[in-house]
Structure 1
Amino acid sequence: MSAGGYTLPAPAGGAPGRRVERLLLVSPAFHGYHRSIAAAWAQQGFDVTVHTYDAYSTPAMKLRNKALLELPQKAGIDRAAARVAWDTDRAVAALREARPDRVLVIKGDSLGDAFWDEVEALGVPRMLWLYDDLHRHDYSADFLRQVGPVLSYARSETEALAAQGVDAHYMPNGFDPDLAVPRLDRREEVVFVGSRYPNRVELLERLAQAGVPVRAYGRQWSHHPVDRLRTWELRRPDLPAERDIPLEEAYAVQAAAAAAINVHGLQAGHAMRTFEVPGMGGLQFVDRPDVAEFYEPGEEVLVFEDADHLVELAQRVVAEPSWGERIRAAGRRRSHAEHTFAHRAAMAQEWWV
Structure 2
Amino acid sequence: MKIALCSYHNPNFINTNIYREKALKELGHELIIVDDRQYVLPGRVRQRFECMQKWDLQRMNDGFVKEAKKIKPDIWMVIGGQSMLATTVKKIKELGVRVVLWTTDIPIDFDIVKEAAPFYDHIFCAGSEAIEVLKNEVTLKDLRLIPFGCDPDYHKPVQLTPEEVLKYQRDIVFVGSFYPNRAKILESLANFNIGIWGPYWNKVGDHSPLRTKIMEGKFNYDEWVKIYSAAKIVLIIHYQDGIVPSYQITPKLFEAMACGSFVLVDNQKDVKALFAGKSYLDFFENTNDLKEKIQYYLEHEDRRKKMAKEGRQDVIERHTFKNRIARMIKIIQEKE
Count of aligned pairs: 312
Q: Cα deviation per residue 1:261-306 (whole Å; 9 max; x = unaligned)? A: 2112341222212222212211212112653433367831221111
Q: Shift of residue 307 of structure 1?
A: 1.4
Equivalent of residue 104 in structure 1, options 68, 77, 93: 77
Q: Shift of residue 246 of structure 1?
A: 1.4
Matched, 1:288 2:263: no
User: Structure 2 counterpart of 1:199, which letter?
Assistant: N
Structure-1 separation of matches of 2:246 and 2:310: 26
Matched, 1:121 2:94: yes
Which range moves more in the overlay, 336-345 or 35-44? 35-44
Matched, 1:331 2:311: yes
Matched, 1:51 2:26: no
User: Structure 1 counterpart of 2:74, which letter?
Assistant: D
Structure-1 separation of matches of 2:95 and 2:46: 36
The answer on whether the counterparts of 2:124 and 2:146 sit within 8 Å (CA) in structure 1 is yes
Partner-residue secondary structure (3-state), 1:133:
coil
Structure-1 separation of matches of 2:321 and 2:90: 29
1:120–1:289 distance in 2 versus 1, CA, 3 Å: closer
Aligned to 1:149: 122
Q: Shift of residue 338 of structure 1?
A: 0.9
Equivalent of residue 176 in structure 1, options 140, 151, 159: 151
| Superposition CA RMSD, Å | 3.3
Matched, 1:351 2:331: yes
User: Structure 2 counterpart of 1:268, which letter?
Assistant: Y
User: Structure 1 counterpart of 2:260, which letter?
Assistant: G
Matched, 1:84 2:67: no
Q: Shift of residue 171 of structure 1?
A: 1.3
1:347–1:320 distance in 2 versus 1, CA, 3 Å: same
User: Structure 2 counterpart of 1:201, which letter?
Assistant: A
The answer on whether the counterparts of 1:215 and 1:242 sit within 8 Å (CA) in structure 2 is no
The answer on whether the counterparts of 1:218 and 1:245 sit within 8 Å (CA) in structure 2 is yes
Matched, 1:303 2:283: yes
Q: Shift of residue 164 of structure 1?
A: 4.8
Q: Shift of residue 189 of structure 1?
A: 3.5
User: Structure 2 counterpart of 1:171, which letter?
Assistant: I
Q: Cα deviation per residue 1:69-121 (whole Å; 9 max; x = unaligned)? A: 23774xx6656436534653554454455332211111121233564344223
User: Structure 1 counterpart of 2:175, which letter?
Assistant: V
Which range moves more in the overlay, 157-166 or 253-262? 157-166
User: Structure 2 counterpart of 1:182, which letter?
Assistant: P
Q: Cα deviation per residue 1:316-349 (whole Å; 9 max; x = unaligned)? A: 3344433321111111011012111111112112
User: Structure 2 counterpart of 1:26, which letter?
Assistant: C
Aligned to 1:10: none
Q: Shift of residue 204 of structure 1?
A: 1.6
TM-score normalised by length of structure 2:
0.79
Structure-2 separation of matches of 1:234 and 1:205: 13
Partner-residue secondary structure (3-state), 1:313:
helix
Q: Cα deviation per residue 1:196-251 (whole Å; 9 max; x = unaligned)? A: 1111111221111xx2122222221259xxxx9xxxx9999623223101134333
Equivalent of residue 111 in structure 2, options 119, 126, 138: 138
User: Structure 1 counterpart of 2:215, which letter?
Assistant: A
Structure-2 separation of matches of 1:256 and 1:314: 16
Equivalent of residue 194 in structure 2, options 194, 210, 214: 214
The answer on whether the counterparts of 1:87 and 1:111 sit within 8 Å (CA) in structure 2 is no
Aligned to 1:313: 293
TM-score normalised by length of structure 1:
0.76
Which range moves more in the overlay, 183-192 or 103-112? 183-192
Structure-1 separation of matches of 2:69 and 2:198: 37
Which range moves more in the overlay, 195-204 or 283-292? 283-292
Aligned to 1:32: 15
Unaligned runs of 5+ in 2: none
